[in-house]
A and B are shown apart, each in its own frame.
Chain A
Amino acid sequence: MNLHARVSRQTWQFTSDIRILGSGVSVGPLEGKGPLASEFDTIHSDNYAKQDSWEKAEQRMMKEAAQTAIEKSKLQSEQVDMWLAGDLLNQIITANYTGRELDLPMLGLFGACSTSMEGLALASALVDAGFADYVLTGCSSHNSTAERQFRYPTEYGGQKPPYAQWTVTGAGAAIVGKGGDGPKVTHATIGKVVDLGIKDPFDMGSAMAPAAADTLTTHFSDLDRNPDDYDLIVTGDLGKVGYAILKDLMKDMGYNMDPVYTDCGMMIYAPNQEVFSGGSGCGCSAVVTYSHIMNRIRHGAFKRVLVVATGALFSPTSFQQGESIPCIAHGVVVEGGA
Protein backbone atom coordinates (compact mmCIF):
# COMPACT_ATOMS: atom_id res chain seq x y z
CA MET A 1 0.00 0.00 0.00
CA ASN A 2 1.11 3.49 -0.75
CA LEU A 3 2.52 5.42 2.20
CA HIS A 4 0.39 8.47 1.54
CA ALA A 5 -2.95 6.78 1.87
CA ARG A 6 -3.23 8.01 5.45
CA VAL A 7 -3.52 11.79 5.48
CA SER A 8 -4.57 11.89 9.14
CA ARG A 9 -6.29 9.48 11.45
CA GLN A 10 -9.58 10.57 9.88
CA THR A 11 -8.79 11.35 6.26
CA TRP A 12 -7.82 8.80 3.63
CA GLN A 13 -6.41 9.50 0.21
CA PHE A 14 -6.98 6.76 -2.33
CA THR A 15 -3.78 6.17 -4.19
CA SER A 16 -5.01 4.24 -7.20
CA ASP A 17 -7.64 5.03 -9.78
CA ILE A 18 -10.75 4.16 -7.77
CA ARG A 19 -13.96 4.59 -9.77
CA ILE A 20 -17.65 4.17 -9.37
CA LEU A 21 -18.36 1.87 -12.29
CA GLY A 22 -22.12 1.96 -12.08
CA SER A 23 -24.90 2.78 -9.69
CA GLY A 24 -28.60 2.07 -9.30
CA VAL A 25 -31.51 3.39 -7.26
CA SER A 26 -35.02 2.19 -6.57
CA VAL A 27 -37.60 4.38 -4.81
CA GLY A 28 -41.17 4.58 -3.55
CA PRO A 29 -44.09 6.64 -4.88
CA LEU A 30 -43.52 9.93 -3.03
CA GLU A 31 -39.88 10.10 -4.16
CA GLY A 32 -41.10 9.19 -7.66
CA LYS A 33 -43.15 12.39 -7.69
CA GLY A 34 -40.19 14.51 -6.57
CA PRO A 35 -37.99 16.75 -8.70
CA LEU A 36 -35.32 14.08 -9.31
CA ALA A 37 -37.76 11.41 -10.48
CA SER A 38 -36.51 11.29 -14.07
CA GLU A 39 -33.08 10.17 -12.83
CA PHE A 40 -34.28 7.19 -10.78
CA ASP A 41 -33.89 3.70 -12.26
CA THR A 42 -36.94 2.11 -10.64
CA ILE A 43 -39.98 3.87 -9.20
CA HIS A 44 -42.65 1.90 -7.35
CA SER A 45 -46.19 3.16 -7.49
CA ASP A 46 -47.06 1.81 -4.04
CA ASN A 47 -45.23 1.62 -0.73
CA TYR A 48 -45.54 -2.16 -0.65
CA ALA A 49 -43.70 -2.57 -3.99
CA LYS A 50 -46.04 -5.54 -4.66
CA GLN A 51 -44.79 -7.33 -1.52
CA ASP A 52 -46.85 -8.34 1.49
CA SER A 53 -44.93 -6.35 4.08
CA TRP A 54 -43.03 -3.06 4.15
CA GLU A 55 -39.88 -4.88 5.23
CA LYS A 56 -40.04 -7.06 2.12
CA ALA A 57 -40.73 -3.98 0.01
CA GLU A 58 -37.55 -2.37 1.34
CA GLN A 59 -35.59 -5.55 0.59
CA ARG A 60 -36.95 -5.61 -2.93
CA MET A 61 -35.85 -2.02 -3.52
CA MET A 62 -32.38 -2.75 -2.19
CA LYS A 63 -32.06 -5.79 -4.42
CA GLU A 64 -33.21 -3.82 -7.46
CA ALA A 65 -30.72 -1.04 -6.75
CA ALA A 66 -27.92 -3.60 -6.35
CA GLN A 67 -28.80 -5.45 -9.54
CA THR A 68 -29.06 -2.21 -11.53
CA ALA A 69 -25.63 -1.18 -10.26
CA ILE A 70 -24.13 -4.54 -11.32
CA GLU A 71 -25.81 -4.35 -14.74
CA LYS A 72 -24.71 -0.78 -15.40
CA SER A 73 -21.14 -1.74 -14.49
CA LYS A 74 -21.34 -4.44 -17.17
CA LEU A 75 -20.30 -7.09 -14.66
CA GLN A 76 -21.59 -10.54 -13.82
CA SER A 77 -22.53 -10.90 -10.19
CA GLU A 78 -19.88 -13.66 -9.86
CA GLN A 79 -17.24 -11.01 -10.51
CA VAL A 80 -18.31 -8.95 -7.49
CA ASP A 81 -16.10 -9.72 -4.48
CA MET A 82 -17.98 -8.08 -1.68
CA TRP A 83 -21.37 -6.70 -0.61
CA LEU A 84 -21.00 -3.86 1.91
CA ALA A 85 -24.41 -2.74 3.05
CA GLY A 86 -26.59 -1.51 5.85
CA ASP A 87 -29.97 -0.04 6.69
CA LEU A 88 -31.89 1.37 9.63
CA LEU A 89 -33.75 -1.72 10.82
CA ASN A 90 -32.81 -3.81 13.83
CA GLN A 91 -30.03 -6.26 12.99
CA ILE A 92 -29.82 -4.58 9.54
CA ILE A 93 -32.26 -7.13 8.18
CA THR A 94 -32.73 -5.40 4.82
CA ALA A 95 -29.04 -5.64 3.99
CA ASN A 96 -28.73 -9.18 5.37
CA TYR A 97 -31.79 -10.53 3.56
CA THR A 98 -30.69 -8.84 0.35
CA GLY A 99 -27.28 -10.50 0.84
CA ARG A 100 -29.07 -13.84 1.00
CA GLU A 101 -30.53 -13.16 -2.46
CA LEU A 102 -27.37 -11.76 -4.00
CA ASP A 103 -25.13 -14.68 -2.98
CA LEU A 104 -22.08 -12.48 -2.39
CA PRO A 105 -19.51 -12.34 0.44
CA MET A 106 -20.86 -9.73 2.81
CA LEU A 107 -19.85 -7.33 5.53
CA GLY A 108 -22.83 -5.66 7.21
CA LEU A 109 -22.58 -2.00 8.18
CA PHE A 110 -24.46 0.20 10.58
CA GLY A 111 -23.92 3.93 10.61
CA ALA A 112 -27.60 4.91 10.58
CA CYS A 113 -28.08 7.41 7.75
CA SER A 114 -24.31 7.80 7.31
CA THR A 115 -24.12 4.21 6.02
CA SER A 116 -24.12 5.31 2.36
CA MET A 117 -20.75 7.07 2.63
CA GLU A 118 -19.40 4.62 5.23
CA GLY A 119 -19.98 1.94 2.59
CA LEU A 120 -18.47 3.95 -0.26
CA ALA A 121 -15.37 4.85 1.78
CA LEU A 122 -14.80 1.25 2.89
CA ALA A 123 -15.47 -0.12 -0.60
CA SER A 124 -12.89 2.27 -2.04
CA ALA A 125 -10.39 1.32 0.68
CA LEU A 126 -10.85 -2.42 0.03
CA VAL A 127 -10.34 -1.95 -3.70
CA ASP A 128 -7.41 0.44 -3.23
CA ALA A 129 -5.69 -2.00 -0.90
CA GLY A 130 -6.18 -4.85 -3.32
CA PHE A 131 -8.44 -6.98 -1.14
CA ALA A 132 -11.18 -6.80 -3.75
CA ASP A 133 -11.47 -6.00 -7.46
CA TYR A 134 -15.13 -5.01 -7.40
CA VAL A 135 -17.15 -4.07 -4.32
CA LEU A 136 -20.89 -3.54 -4.32
CA THR A 137 -22.05 -1.11 -1.64
CA GLY A 138 -25.53 0.08 -0.84
CA CYS A 139 -28.08 1.04 1.75
CA SER A 140 -31.80 1.58 2.06
CA SER A 141 -34.59 3.00 4.17
CA HIS A 142 -38.38 2.80 4.03
CA ASN A 143 -40.69 5.37 5.52
CA SER A 144 -43.05 2.84 7.05
CA THR A 145 -40.46 0.40 8.41
CA ALA A 146 -38.55 3.27 10.01
CA GLU A 147 -41.65 4.95 11.44
CA ARG A 148 -42.74 1.69 13.00
CA GLN A 149 -39.37 1.01 14.56
CA PHE A 150 -38.44 4.49 15.72
CA ARG A 151 -41.76 6.28 16.21
CA TYR A 152 -45.46 5.41 15.92
CA PRO A 153 -47.64 3.25 13.66
CA THR A 154 -48.02 4.86 10.22
CA GLU A 155 -51.78 5.42 10.57
CA TYR A 156 -51.52 6.87 14.09
CA GLY A 157 -52.88 10.41 14.18
CA GLY A 158 -50.15 12.03 16.26
CA GLN A 159 -49.07 15.52 15.28
CA LYS A 160 -45.50 15.98 14.09
CA PRO A 161 -43.61 19.22 14.72
CA PRO A 162 -42.60 21.39 11.72
CA TYR A 163 -38.92 20.46 12.22
CA ALA A 164 -39.62 16.71 11.84
CA GLN A 165 -38.32 14.91 8.76
CA TRP A 166 -39.72 12.38 6.33
CA THR A 167 -37.83 9.07 6.00
CA VAL A 168 -37.09 8.39 2.35
CA THR A 169 -38.43 5.16 0.88
CA GLY A 170 -35.68 4.01 -1.41
CA ALA A 171 -32.38 2.26 -1.88
CA GLY A 172 -29.17 3.11 -3.70
CA ALA A 173 -26.17 0.98 -4.59
CA ALA A 174 -22.92 1.35 -6.49
CA ILE A 175 -20.07 -0.78 -7.77
CA VAL A 176 -16.57 0.40 -6.89
CA GLY A 177 -13.62 -0.82 -8.95
CA LYS A 178 -10.41 0.36 -10.61
CA GLY A 179 -10.06 2.18 -13.93
CA GLY A 180 -12.60 3.15 -16.55
CA ASP A 181 -14.28 6.49 -17.03
CA GLY A 182 -16.75 6.64 -14.13
CA PRO A 183 -16.71 9.14 -11.27
CA LYS A 184 -13.47 8.89 -9.33
CA VAL A 185 -13.34 8.44 -5.56
CA THR A 186 -10.32 10.36 -4.29
CA HIS A 187 -10.65 10.94 -0.55
CA ALA A 188 -12.71 9.98 2.45
CA THR A 189 -12.98 11.55 5.89
CA ILE A 190 -14.26 9.27 8.63
CA GLY A 191 -16.29 11.03 11.27
CA LYS A 192 -16.21 10.89 15.05
CA VAL A 193 -19.30 10.47 17.19
CA VAL A 194 -20.51 13.91 18.23
CA ASP A 195 -23.32 14.55 20.70
CA LEU A 196 -24.29 18.08 21.69
CA GLY A 197 -27.21 17.00 23.82
CA ILE A 198 -30.23 17.11 21.49
CA LYS A 199 -32.82 14.65 22.83
CA ASP A 200 -35.87 15.13 20.61
CA PRO A 201 -35.98 12.24 18.11
CA PHE A 202 -38.04 14.42 15.74
CA ASP A 203 -35.28 17.01 15.67
CA MET A 204 -32.67 15.07 13.72
CA GLY A 205 -31.38 18.08 11.78
CA SER A 206 -30.28 19.88 14.94
CA ALA A 207 -28.86 16.67 16.40
CA MET A 208 -26.76 15.82 13.34
CA ALA A 209 -25.50 19.25 12.23
CA PRO A 210 -22.56 19.33 14.73
CA ALA A 211 -21.32 15.93 13.49
CA ALA A 212 -21.34 17.27 9.93
CA ALA A 213 -19.54 20.43 11.06
CA ASP A 214 -16.89 18.33 12.81
CA THR A 215 -16.27 16.12 9.77
CA LEU A 216 -16.26 19.07 7.32
CA THR A 217 -13.82 21.08 9.44
CA THR A 218 -11.53 18.07 9.76
CA HIS A 219 -11.77 17.39 6.04
CA PHE A 220 -10.98 20.95 5.00
CA SER A 221 -8.04 21.33 7.34
CA ASP A 222 -6.60 17.84 6.65
CA LEU A 223 -6.54 18.48 2.91
CA ASP A 224 -5.90 22.20 3.20
CA ARG A 225 -9.01 22.90 1.19
CA ASN A 226 -11.94 25.29 1.33
CA PRO A 227 -15.59 24.98 0.30
CA ASP A 228 -14.58 26.83 -2.92
CA ASP A 229 -12.49 23.82 -3.95
CA TYR A 230 -15.73 21.93 -4.56
CA ASP A 231 -18.45 22.39 -7.15
CA LEU A 232 -20.92 20.86 -4.78
CA ILE A 233 -20.97 19.92 -1.11
CA VAL A 234 -24.00 17.96 0.05
CA THR A 235 -24.97 16.67 3.43
CA GLY A 236 -27.07 13.52 3.64
CA ASP A 237 -30.22 14.41 5.50
CA LEU A 238 -30.02 17.50 7.67
CA GLY A 239 -33.22 18.95 6.20
CA LYS A 240 -33.96 22.68 6.19
CA VAL A 241 -33.33 23.08 9.91
CA GLY A 242 -30.00 21.25 10.01
CA TYR A 243 -28.93 22.89 6.75
CA ALA A 244 -29.31 26.37 8.24
CA ILE A 245 -27.56 25.36 11.48
CA LEU A 246 -24.64 23.77 9.65
CA LYS A 247 -24.08 26.86 7.50
CA ASP A 248 -24.05 28.95 10.65
CA LEU A 249 -21.65 26.62 12.50
CA MET A 250 -19.29 26.55 9.51
CA LYS A 251 -19.32 30.33 9.31
CA ASP A 252 -18.02 30.32 12.90
CA MET A 253 -15.20 28.06 11.78
CA GLY A 254 -14.37 30.50 8.99
CA TYR A 255 -15.89 28.61 6.08
CA ASN A 256 -18.50 30.15 3.83
CA MET A 257 -20.61 27.23 2.60
CA ASP A 258 -23.23 29.28 0.78
CA PRO A 259 -22.39 29.06 -2.91
CA VAL A 260 -21.81 25.31 -3.13
CA TYR A 261 -23.72 23.75 -0.26
CA THR A 262 -27.02 21.92 -0.29
CA ASP A 263 -28.65 18.93 1.40
CA CYS A 264 -29.97 15.67 -0.12
CA GLY A 265 -33.00 15.88 2.16
CA MET A 266 -33.96 19.16 0.49
CA MET A 267 -33.21 17.96 -3.05
CA ILE A 268 -35.27 14.78 -3.11
CA TYR A 269 -38.69 16.34 -2.47
CA ALA A 270 -40.38 19.34 -4.06
CA PRO A 271 -41.37 22.28 -1.83
CA ASN A 272 -45.05 21.44 -2.24
CA GLN A 273 -44.60 17.88 -0.96
CA GLU A 274 -45.50 17.77 2.71
CA VAL A 275 -42.34 16.43 4.27
CA PHE A 276 -41.82 19.00 7.06
CA SER A 277 -38.11 19.90 7.22
CA GLY A 278 -37.08 17.50 4.42
CA GLY A 279 -36.07 13.90 3.69
CA SER A 280 -34.04 11.66 5.96
CA GLY A 281 -32.91 8.05 6.23
CA CYS A 282 -30.12 5.95 4.71
CA GLY A 283 -31.94 6.00 1.42
CA CYS A 284 -31.90 9.80 1.22
CA SER A 285 -28.20 10.36 0.58
CA ALA A 286 -27.80 7.05 -1.29
CA VAL A 287 -30.63 7.73 -3.73
CA VAL A 288 -29.57 11.32 -4.48
CA THR A 289 -25.84 10.51 -4.70
CA TYR A 290 -26.19 7.38 -6.80
CA SER A 291 -28.54 8.96 -9.32
CA HIS A 292 -28.54 12.76 -9.68
CA ILE A 293 -25.02 13.48 -8.41
CA MET A 294 -23.41 10.61 -10.35
CA ASN A 295 -25.19 11.76 -13.53
CA ARG A 296 -24.08 15.35 -13.08
CA ILE A 297 -20.48 14.25 -12.52
CA ARG A 298 -20.58 12.02 -15.60
CA HIS A 299 -21.97 14.88 -17.70
CA GLY A 300 -19.23 17.19 -16.47
CA ALA A 301 -21.53 19.59 -14.62
CA PHE A 302 -19.65 18.89 -11.39
CA LYS A 303 -15.91 18.33 -11.32
CA ARG A 304 -15.46 17.73 -7.61
CA VAL A 305 -18.17 16.85 -5.12
CA LEU A 306 -18.02 16.20 -1.39
CA VAL A 307 -20.84 14.07 -0.01
CA VAL A 308 -21.15 14.11 3.78
CA ALA A 309 -23.69 11.54 4.94
CA THR A 310 -24.99 12.22 8.44
CA GLY A 311 -26.33 9.58 10.81
CA ALA A 312 -28.16 9.68 14.14
CA LEU A 313 -26.95 6.73 16.20
CA PHE A 314 -29.82 6.36 18.64
CA SER A 315 -32.33 3.60 19.28
CA PRO A 316 -35.95 3.69 20.48
CA THR A 317 -34.72 2.36 23.83
CA SER A 318 -32.04 5.02 24.23
CA PHE A 319 -34.37 7.95 23.64
CA GLN A 320 -37.11 6.54 25.85
CA GLN A 321 -34.51 6.31 28.60
CA GLY A 322 -33.86 10.01 28.12
CA GLU A 323 -30.43 9.71 26.47
CA SER A 324 -29.38 12.37 23.98
CA ILE A 325 -28.71 11.48 20.33
CA PRO A 326 -25.11 10.70 19.33
CA CYS A 327 -24.42 11.48 15.67
CA ILE A 328 -21.77 10.81 13.07
CA ALA A 329 -20.90 12.03 9.58
CA HIS A 330 -18.66 10.52 6.92
CA GLY A 331 -17.47 12.45 3.88
CA VAL A 332 -16.34 11.10 0.52
CA VAL A 333 -14.88 13.13 -2.35
CA VAL A 334 -15.97 12.12 -5.85
CA GLU A 335 -14.41 13.72 -8.93
CA GLY A 336 -15.29 13.68 -12.60
CA GLY A 337 -13.06 13.42 -15.63
CA ALA A 338 -10.87 10.74 -17.17
Chain B
Amino acid sequence: MAGNIKSRKKFQMSKEQYQKRSAEFRPKKNIFMNSLKAFVVGGFICALGQAISNFYIAFFNFTEKTAGNPTVATLIFISVILTGLGVYDNIGQFAGAGSAVPVTGFANSIASSAIEHRSEGFVLGVGGNMFKLAGSVIVYGVVAAFVVALIKKLIFS
Protein backbone atom coordinates (compact mmCIF):
# COMPACT_ATOMS: atom_id res chain seq x y z
CA MET B 1 0.00 0.00 0.00
CA ALA B 2 1.77 3.10 -1.25
CA GLY B 3 -0.20 5.40 1.01
CA ASN B 4 1.52 3.89 4.03
CA ILE B 5 4.88 5.43 3.24
CA LYS B 6 5.06 8.92 4.62
CA SER B 7 7.15 11.51 2.87
CA ARG B 8 8.92 13.81 5.27
CA LYS B 9 12.02 15.74 6.17
CA LYS B 10 14.96 13.45 6.71
CA PHE B 11 18.04 13.89 8.80
CA GLN B 12 20.96 13.06 6.55
CA MET B 13 24.67 13.62 6.90
CA SER B 14 27.75 11.80 5.68
CA LYS B 15 30.17 10.26 8.14
CA GLU B 16 32.97 12.55 6.97
CA GLN B 17 30.83 15.65 7.41
CA TYR B 18 29.78 14.55 10.87
CA GLN B 19 33.31 13.72 12.03
CA LYS B 20 34.34 17.29 11.18
CA ARG B 21 31.23 18.83 12.66
CA SER B 22 31.28 16.94 15.96
CA ALA B 23 35.02 17.55 16.44
CA GLU B 24 34.28 21.28 16.77
CA PHE B 25 32.17 20.60 19.86
CA ARG B 26 34.49 18.18 21.58
CA PRO B 27 36.45 19.92 24.34
CA LYS B 28 40.18 19.68 23.63
CA LYS B 29 42.51 18.05 26.06
CA ASN B 30 44.89 20.68 27.37
CA ILE B 31 48.14 19.01 26.28
CA PHE B 32 50.44 21.58 27.90
CA MET B 33 48.73 21.46 31.30
CA ASN B 34 48.41 17.68 31.14
CA SER B 35 52.11 17.33 30.33
CA LEU B 36 53.02 19.71 33.13
CA LYS B 37 50.90 17.81 35.67
CA ALA B 38 52.33 14.50 34.47
CA PHE B 39 55.86 15.88 34.75
CA VAL B 40 55.35 17.18 38.29
CA VAL B 41 53.53 14.12 39.65
CA GLY B 42 55.78 11.64 37.82
CA GLY B 43 58.82 13.54 39.03
CA PHE B 44 57.49 13.56 42.57
CA ILE B 45 56.99 9.77 42.50
CA CYS B 46 60.56 9.29 41.21
CA ALA B 47 61.94 11.71 43.84
CA LEU B 48 60.05 9.76 46.49
CA GLY B 49 61.65 6.58 45.13
CA GLN B 50 65.08 8.18 45.36
CA ALA B 51 64.39 9.23 48.97
CA ILE B 52 63.30 5.69 49.87
CA SER B 53 66.40 4.29 48.17
CA ASN B 54 68.67 6.69 50.12
CA PHE B 55 66.87 5.73 53.30
CA TYR B 56 67.59 2.03 52.73
CA ILE B 57 71.24 2.77 51.94
CA ALA B 58 71.68 5.03 54.98
CA PHE B 59 69.89 2.98 57.63
CA PHE B 60 70.09 -0.61 56.39
CA ASN B 61 72.94 -2.45 54.83
CA PHE B 62 72.02 -1.80 51.21
CA THR B 63 74.26 -0.54 48.47
CA GLU B 64 73.17 1.64 45.59
CA LYS B 65 72.84 -1.54 43.50
CA THR B 66 70.89 -3.65 45.98
CA ALA B 67 68.57 -0.88 47.26
CA GLY B 68 66.57 -1.06 44.00
CA ASN B 69 64.45 -4.08 44.90
CA PRO B 70 63.24 -2.96 48.35
CA THR B 71 62.59 0.55 46.94
CA VAL B 72 60.36 -0.81 44.16
CA ALA B 73 58.60 -3.06 46.67
CA THR B 74 57.91 -0.07 48.93
CA LEU B 75 56.52 2.01 46.04
CA ILE B 76 54.32 -0.90 44.97
CA PHE B 77 53.10 -1.26 48.55
CA ILE B 78 52.18 2.44 48.76
CA SER B 79 50.44 2.32 45.38
CA VAL B 80 48.40 -0.75 46.32
CA ILE B 81 47.33 0.85 49.62
CA LEU B 82 46.27 4.02 47.79
CA THR B 83 44.37 1.91 45.23
CA GLY B 84 42.58 0.06 48.02
CA LEU B 85 41.66 3.33 49.71
CA GLY B 86 40.20 4.58 46.42
CA VAL B 87 42.68 7.44 46.02
CA TYR B 88 44.91 6.28 43.17
CA ASP B 89 42.26 6.64 40.47
CA ASN B 90 41.84 10.29 41.48
CA ILE B 91 45.59 10.83 41.27
CA GLY B 92 45.48 9.13 37.85
CA GLN B 93 42.73 11.43 36.59
CA PHE B 94 44.82 14.43 37.63
CA ALA B 95 48.27 13.25 36.59
CA GLY B 96 47.60 11.01 33.56
CA ALA B 97 50.86 9.44 32.39
CA GLY B 98 52.63 10.92 35.44
CA SER B 99 51.10 8.27 37.68
CA ALA B 100 50.60 5.61 35.00
CA VAL B 101 54.19 5.22 33.76
CA PRO B 102 56.12 4.65 37.04
CA VAL B 103 55.96 1.25 38.75
CA THR B 104 53.12 2.58 40.92
CA GLY B 105 50.86 2.71 37.84
CA PHE B 106 51.67 -0.89 37.02
CA ALA B 107 50.86 -1.91 40.61
CA ASN B 108 47.62 0.05 40.44
CA SER B 109 46.50 -1.74 37.28
CA ILE B 110 47.01 -5.12 38.97
CA ALA B 111 45.50 -4.17 42.34
CA SER B 112 42.47 -2.46 40.81
CA SER B 113 41.71 -5.52 38.64
CA ALA B 114 42.09 -7.81 41.64
CA ILE B 115 39.71 -5.70 43.75
CA GLU B 116 37.25 -5.36 40.88
CA HIS B 117 36.95 -9.10 40.30
CA ARG B 118 36.95 -10.20 43.94
CA SER B 119 33.18 -10.75 43.63
CA GLU B 120 33.77 -13.59 41.14
CA GLY B 121 35.89 -15.54 43.63
CA PHE B 122 39.62 -15.98 44.25
CA VAL B 123 40.42 -18.34 41.37
CA LEU B 124 38.37 -17.22 38.36
CA GLY B 125 37.90 -13.69 39.68
CA VAL B 126 41.05 -12.38 41.34
CA GLY B 127 43.48 -14.91 39.85
CA GLY B 128 42.02 -14.87 36.35
CA ASN B 129 41.71 -11.10 36.04
CA MET B 130 44.63 -9.61 37.98
CA PHE B 131 46.76 -9.30 34.88
CA LYS B 132 43.94 -8.22 32.59
CA LEU B 133 45.48 -4.76 32.12
CA ALA B 134 49.06 -5.51 33.18
CA GLY B 135 49.29 -8.64 31.03
CA SER B 136 50.00 -6.84 27.79
CA VAL B 137 52.70 -4.74 29.51
CA ILE B 138 54.41 -7.93 30.66
CA VAL B 139 54.03 -9.69 27.29
CA TYR B 140 55.39 -6.83 25.23
CA GLY B 141 57.97 -5.93 27.88
CA VAL B 142 59.41 -9.44 27.68
CA VAL B 143 59.22 -9.54 23.88
CA ALA B 144 60.91 -6.15 23.58
CA ALA B 145 63.62 -7.14 26.05
CA PHE B 146 64.25 -10.32 24.07
CA VAL B 147 64.56 -8.45 20.77
CA VAL B 148 66.88 -5.83 22.27
CA ALA B 149 69.04 -8.52 23.88
CA LEU B 150 69.18 -10.37 20.57
CA ILE B 151 70.30 -7.23 18.73
CA LYS B 152 72.93 -6.56 21.35
CA LYS B 153 74.25 -10.12 21.12
CA LEU B 154 74.33 -10.16 17.31
CA ILE B 155 75.77 -6.71 16.70
CA PHE B 156 77.90 -5.81 19.67
CA SER B 157 79.46 -9.10 20.76
Partner-B contacts on A (CB < 8 A): 7-9, 52-55, 148, 152-163, 196-198, 203, 206, 209-210, 213-214, 217-218, 220-222, 241, 244-245, 248-249, 253-254, 277
Which residues of A sit under 8 angstroms from B100, Cβ to Cβ? 157-159
- Tell me if B86 and A157 are in contact (CB < 8 A): no
B47 within 8 A of A: no
B119 touches A55 (CB 8 A): yes
Q: Which residues of B contact A249 (CB under 8 A)?
A: 11, 13, 21
| Contact B108–A196 (Cβ < 8 Å) | no
Contacts of B119 in A (CB 8 A): 52-55
Q: When the two chains form their complex, are residues B27 and A241 in contact, meaning their CB atoms are under 8 A apart?
A: yes
Q: How far is the CA of A9 from the CA of B7 in the complex (A)?
A: 11
Question: Within 8 Å CB of A52, what residues of B?
Answer: 119
CA distance in complex: A206, B27 (Å): 11
Which one of A148, A156, A163 contacts B92 once the chains associate, using CB atoms below 8 Å?
Answer: A156
The 9 A-B pairs at the shortest CB distance, nearest first, are namely A157-B92, A153-B116, A197-B15, A155-B112, A221-B8, A196-B18, A153-B112, A159-B96, A156-B112
Q: Is the CB of A162 within 8 A of B27?
A: yes
In the complex formed, the residue of A with least CB distance to B108 is A157
Q: Interface extent on B, as a size class?
A: 35 or more
Which chain A residues border B4 with CB–CB below 8 Å?
9
CA–CA, A332 to B31, complex, Å? 42
Structural contact, A157 and B115, CB atoms closer than 8 A: no
A-binding residues in B (CB < 8 A): 4-6, 8-11, 13, 15, 18-19, 21-22, 25-27, 29, 34, 83-84, 86, 88-89, 91-93, 95-97, 99-100, 105, 108-109, 111-113, 115-117, 119, 133
Q: Is the CB of A153 within 8 A of B92?
A: no
Judge whether A156 and B25 touch: CB under 8 Å.
no
Q: B5 — which chain A residues lie within 8 A by C-beta?
A: 9
**Contact A217–B10 (Cβ < 8 Å):** yes
Verify A155–B26 contact, CB threshold 8 A.
no
Chain A proximity of B17: nearest CB distance (Å): 8
Q: Which of B11, B88, B89 has the most CB of A within 10 A?
A: B11
Is there contact, CB below 8 Å, between B88 and A222? Answer: no
On chain B, the residues within 8 Å of A218 by CB distance are 8, 11
Of B21, B91, B99, which is within 8 A of A245 by CB?
B21
B113 touches A156 (CB 8 A): yes
Q: In the bound complex, do residue B18 and residue A210 qualify as a contact, i.e. CB atoms below 8 Å apart?
A: yes
Contacts of A210 in B (CB 8 A): 11, 13, 18
Given contacts A157-B92, A221-B8, contact A248 B25 (CB under 8 A): yes
Provide the bound-state CA to CA distance between A253 and B12, in Å. 9
Complex interface: chain B residues within 8 A of A153 (CB): 112-113, 115-117, 133
Pick the most buried of A52, A53, A245: most chain B CB atoms within 10 A of its CB: A245
Pick the contact of B133: A156, A217, A277 (CB < 8 A): A156
Asked whether, in the complex, the Cβ of A163 is within 8 Å of the Cβ of B26, the reply is: yes
**Whole-angstrom CA separation of A8 from B23 in the bound complex:** 34
Q: Which residue of B lies closest to A243 (CB)?
A: B25
A159 to B30 alpha-carbon distance, docked (Å): 13
The complex places the Cα of A161 from the Cα of B115 at a distance, in Å, of 24
